[in-house]
Amino acid sequence: MTQQENTSGPVIVESYRDFEPPPNFRRLIETLLLYIPPKYLIGLKTVVLTNRSGLTRDKRRQRVWSRNRKILLADAAGSYSRATKSSPATVWLYVDNLAESAGWMLRLPFFCYMMPADVLYHEVGHHIHTVHKPIHEGREDVAQDWSRKLYAHFVRKHYWYIYPFLYIAAQIVSPIAKKLRRTS
């Protein structure tokens, strides 16, 4: 896929203050966005890559729900702002928090996508839940389900050549796991 094929996708905006993002981080996000079906990106105008210092004072002090508790927005890895009359829908990724959580994984080819994909796809899941497929369940559960679906789609399309190895590994591990469950 090329960027021209996904013309309706969101614009990526980088807004850092006193922070150098990991090398190729923007390219990781661009790649992950390319594998989201375009119909789910309709209405999502921007993906903002920023750091905690790039937030305004009010945003740093703002609290958001994360599962059953409130956390500081500055401590989150990402957030979703639904569209209003005055602003379009936006996904915010806090790259410093993401890079801190991912650590060494950002340096390895397959693993570099895991943490950014989990956060990006979770926030896009909130967008899908809000705009395209509202379901009357817990918002976080629905977003996490979408995150898993979108990541599975990404791996299936981007790493298609790994599936034969995963199948063989599953065939080897499955009997061992069954034995361990019986003994415990």
**All structural domains of the chain with their residue ranges:** 3-183
* CA gap 160, 182 in Å, rounded: 34
How much of the chain exceeds pLDDT 90, in percent? 47
> What pLDDT does 7 receive?
55
Residues 6+ apart with CB under 8 A from 96: 19, 51, 52, 53
pLDDT digits (tens, 9 = 90+) for 21-31: 998 899 999 99
Q: Are residues 8 and 41 in contact, defined by beta-carbon separation less than 8 angstroms?
A: yes
- For the chain, give the number of residues: 184
pLDDT digits (tens, 9 = 90+) for 81-133: 998 999 999 999 999 999 988 888 888 888 889 999 999 999 999 999 988 88
Give the model's confidence band at 135: pLDDT under 50 very low, under 70 low, under 90 confident, else very high.
Answer: confident
How much of the chain exceeds pLDDT 70, in percent? 95
> What pLDDT does 141 receive?
86
Give the model's confidence band at 1: pLDDT under 50 very low, under 70 low, under 90 confident, else very high.
Answer: very low
Token pair for residue 96?
A: 């410093």
Task: Name the residue with tokens 């957030």.
Answer: 79
Whether 137 shows a pLDDT value over 60: the answer reads: yes
* CA gap 128, 139 in Å, rounded: 11
